Amino acid sequence: MSQPVALTRAISPNLEHCELTHVAPQPLDLARAREQHHRYEETLKRMGCELHRIPGDVAFPDCVFIEDTAVVLAELAVVTRPGVDSRRGETAAVAQALERWRRVVELTAPATLDGGDVICLGRTLYVGRSTRSNRAGSDQLANWAEPLGYAVRDVDLGPCLHLKSAATALSGDTVLINPDWCDPSSFGDARLIPVAPAEPWAANSVCVNGAILMPEAFPATRQRVEEAGYEVFTVPADELAKAEGGVSCCSLVFEA
Ligand code: CIR
């Protein structure tokens, strides 16, 4: 198997003007965010990724959250149309970078879709119906993905930003989930690992080469993931969490 690529984007000097939906504004320490982001990138490398970073952009406060700008399938990269105006312009640089590895297609108005709303389990794409992603977004994604053999299913969400705030795939048949934020029956017969009740934000993770990357702030959920048989890597991620970002948001990980 080839080495996976992790595509990241540097933090904007304007991060303090990021979008916030479910978290209250707090002072952001840009230097600390950059240090934690660097450790995140180094950890992806330790997990076996070839790391590629796009420069940040002062015009786009949220550009570090590159996950929202594309859904990278094995066959095709679907560049999204993010659900808030301030993030629409983030996609151009990402689309250009992805052309190195994939044919690139783009969603168009009236579709809105954030990549953080899309989970791939086997040949099924689950799309969260968040405030960022609309029916036209999942329909256009389906128009690209169904001819390739993917099924596309919408998932209703509770009070969280994205589907990946509520659930992420640990493998092709296992989901780490906060059952208070999305309906566990959404994922068919997948094996479900619930987050520890005291750690509602712990469902967001990244799977690389069969191992799992999680924030270090969720030890009880980490233990559950390890007991399920996964090797777990952790990183400090609390500074970008103030910008409402989790670990999955900061990379696009895919086979080269
Ligand atoms: C936003 O609200 O768009 C950013 N402040 C955070 C985006 C986090 N992305 C993600 O969960 N995929």
Distance between CA 83 and CA 207 in Å, rounded? 25
For atom 9 of ligand 1, the residue with the nearest CA is 249
Nearest CA to ligand 1 atom 12: 116
The helix (H) or strand (E) run that includes residue 164 is helix 163-166
Ligand 1 atom with the shortest distance to the CA of 117: 12
The pTM of this model reads 0.97
Positions of the chain with pLDDT under 50? none
Q: Which atom of ligand 1 is nearest to the CA of 246?
A: 11
Q: What angle (nearest 5°) sits at the alpha carbon of residue 84, between those of residues 37 and 217? A: 35
Is residue 141 within 8 Å of residue 169, measured between CB atoms? no
Write out the two tokens for 111.
Answer: 């579709």
pLDDT for residue 140: 98
Quote the pLDDT of residue 1: 56
- CA–centroid distance, residue 249 to ligand 1 (Å): 7
Q: Which among 161, 168, 248 is the best mutation to test ligand 1's pocket, defined by most ligand atoms within 8 Å of the CB?
A: 161
Rounded to the nearest angstrom, the distance between the alpha carbon of 99 and the centre of ligand 1 is: 24
Substitution candidate for ligand 1 out of 65, 81, 86, 206 with most atoms within 8 A of CB: 65
How many whole angstroms from 84 Cα to the centroid of ligand 1?
A: 10
Interior/surface letters 197-207, b for 16+ CB within 10 angstroms, e for the rest: eebbbbbbbbb
- Residue-level pLDDT at 236: 98
The verdict on whether 250 is a catalytic residue reads no
Q: In this structure, which residue's CA is closest to atom 5 in ligand 1?
A: 19
pLDDT, tens digit, 9 for 90 and up, residues 96-106:
999 999 999 99
The answer to whether 37 is a known catalytic residue is no
Q: How far is the CA of 86 from the centre of ligand 1 (A)?
A: 12
Q: What local confidence, expressed as pLDDT, does residue 2 receive?
A: 74
How much distance in Å is there from the Cα of 65 to the middle of ligand 1?
6
